């Protein structure tokens, strides 16, 4: 039974990391290109996903809130998203 749980945990970690690599499209990943991370996560069972979690995930980008009292159409990022 413990062996089955370990296999399920490895599969779930791999699936989670594959989805996260796929969703990192607009972000800059660290250390290697995104396609190489996907290859490593899929082909190297435990080391690939753990390496992605600690070495490859993109940094969280903090979004700046507009200044108080400014209208949404003053924010260039907001206007760019409307197109």
Percentage of the chain beyond pLDDT 70 is 80
Residue 71 has pLDDT above 60, yes or no: yes
| DSSP, res 69 | T
Q: How many domains does the chain have?
A: 1
Residue 8: inside a domain: yes
Residue 62: inside a domain: no
Secondary structure element (H or E) that encloses residue 18, with its range: helix 2-23
Residue 64: inside a domain: no
- For 36, the domain range is 2-56
Residue 81: inside a domain: no
Query: pLDDT tier at 73 (50, 70, 90 boundaries)?
Result: low
Residue 41: inside a domain: yes
Q: What's this model's pTM, rounded to 2 decimal places?
A: 0.67
């Amino acid at each position: 039974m413990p062996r089955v749980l370990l296999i399920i945990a490895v599969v779930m970690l791999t699936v989670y990391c594959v989805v996260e690599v796929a969703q990192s499209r607009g972000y800059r990943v660290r250390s290697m290109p995104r396609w190489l991370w996907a290859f490593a996560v899929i082909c190297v069972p435990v080391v690939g996903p753990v390496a992605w979690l600690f070495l490859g995930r993109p940094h969280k980008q903090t979004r700046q809130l507009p200044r108080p009292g400014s209208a949404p159409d003053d924010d260039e990022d907001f206007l760019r998203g409307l197109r």
